[in-house]
């Protein structure tokens, strides 16, 4: 199993819908997780971090962490065309200190 | 305040040449990271500096790659005898401490012909 896995997509949703982005991780990833958004040709920017089991909400974004299932997700409510980007899931690696281990990203396309 | 800056923004070089990429972290950030992102791939960790500690070089793909961080601030990533497979975007990130959020620079797009 890769350390952090994401479905590459593309995930297509209509404007106003809920977009659900999923990520699974291996034992080589620690319990701190981050969702970054990356627009084409730009560098990643942090959307949310989550450290504890359960849900964490910030505006239209909700991150969910399930440590037993080694699963983390990001929900985007009321999706907007401006949300169209690649979403990178990252976790802190156990052996590599605090360097982040990134998934390959899921491309989200929100149509108006 | 100013974010992470990187230079050059783009670099085209010939196979076999050496290149140096520079990163200026956010002022006061003690941790600095280098990542590489190839087309269609995720971010690949290269090296990590934390304060005065020995860097974590576990991600460097070969001995052609090296990095240093002078005075706990600016970092330079050097690639010797570049190969075409080195073509990628090289991203630098910094954080206030080792457990804090990482902020990314705009990246250097390297093309090796």
The pair of three-digit structure tokens given for residue B28, joined into one six-digit string? 């006061």
Q: Under an 8 Å CB criterion, which residues of A touch B?
A: 4, 32, 34, 42-46, 49, 88, 90, 93, 95-105
pLDDT at B3 over 90: yes
CB within 8 Å: A105 and B59: no
Where is average pLDDT lowest: A90-104, B62-76, B93-107? A90-104
pLDDT at B92 over 80: yes
How high is the pLDDT of residue B74? 95
> Which residue of B lies nearest to A104 if distances are taken between CA atoms?
B42
Where is average pLDDT lowest: A53-62, A76-85, B51-60? B51-60
pLDDT at B20 over 60: yes
CB within 8 Å: A98 and B91: no
Q: Which of A28, A99, A101, A102 to mutate to test the interface with B (most CBs of B within 10 A)?
A: A99
> Which residue of A lies nearest to B42 if distances are taken between CA atoms?
A104
Look at residues B86, B78, B62 and name the one whose alpha carbon lies nearest to residue B14: B86
The C-alpha torsion from A106 through B39 and B100 to B23, rounded to 10°, is -160
The pair of three-digit structure tokens given for residue B39, joined into one six-digit string? 């087309």
> Which residue of A lies nearest to B55 if distances are taken between CA atoms?
A97
Residues A80 and A41: their CA atoms lie apart, in Å, by: 20
The pair of three-digit structure tokens given for residue A2, joined into one six-digit string? 């890769």
């Amino acid at each position: 199993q890769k350390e952090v896995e994401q479905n590459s997509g593309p995930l297509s949703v209509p404007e106003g819908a809920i977009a659900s982005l999923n990520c699974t991780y291996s034992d080589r990833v620690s319990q701190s997780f981050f969702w970054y958004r990356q627009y084409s040709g730009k560098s990643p920017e942090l959307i949310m971090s989550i450290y504890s089991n359960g849900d964490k909400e910030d505006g239209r974004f909700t991150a969910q962490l399930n440590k037993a299932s080694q699963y983390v997700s990001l929900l985007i409510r009321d999706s907007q065309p401006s949300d169209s980007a690649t979403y990178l899931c990252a976790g802190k690696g156990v052996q590599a200190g605090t360097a982040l281990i990134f998934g390959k990203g899921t491309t989200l396309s929100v149509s108006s | 305040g100013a974010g992470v800056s990187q230079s050059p923004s783009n670099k085209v070089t010939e196979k076999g040449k050496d290149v140096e990429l520079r990163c200026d972290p956010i002022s006061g950030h003690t941790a600095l990271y280098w990542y590489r992102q190839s087309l269609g791939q995720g971010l690949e960790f290269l090296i990590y500096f934390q304060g005065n500690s020995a860097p974590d070089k576990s991600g460097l793909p070969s001995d052609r790659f090296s990095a240093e961080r002078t005075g706990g601030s600016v970092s330079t990533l050097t690639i010797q005898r570049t190969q075409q497979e080195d073509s990628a975007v090289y991203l630098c990130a910094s954080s206030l401490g080792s457990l804090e959020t990482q902020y990314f620079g705009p990246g250097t797009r390297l093309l090796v012909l």
